Amino acid sequence: MRCVIARFPFDLIKSEVEQSMSGVSPEPVTGVSVSIGRRVYPVMQVGEVITKQDRRDFTSGEMRRALTRLGFTCHDAPQAAPATPAAATRPDEDAWRW
């Protein structure tokens, strides 16, 4: 499949992407990710490996569209952990502590 990533045309084939990523260990996922085989990779890591470009040259949206068109399953960014609640204050406690 022909696609444009960071203004450069690439001819990508699903089996070639799978082969390129076969020996690569996945980085921790913090944003959009893609399932390749039994592993889950950040799309930016996959883009860097298959295009041989710096990650700053393309966006995760470009890679997500290309990988989805190839037939891979992409996942949204993981949900952030809920914030810890602030320490409870007593109603009679003065906030300014004069």
Q: Left if phi > 0, otherwise alpha if psi is -120 to 50, otherwise beta: which for 28? A: beta
Q: Is the pLDDT of residue 49 over 90?
A: yes
What pLDDT does residue 91 have? 60
Please give the residue that has the higher pLDDT: either 27 or 87. 27
- Does residue 72 have a pLDDT over 90? yes
pTM, to two decimals: 0.76
Predicted confidence band of residue 78 (pLDDT cuts 50, 70, 90)? confident
Q: Is the pLDDT of residue 69 over 90?
A: yes
What per-residue confidence (pLDDT) applies to 26? Answer: 95
Nearest CA-CA partner of 46 in 80, 9, 70, 20: 20
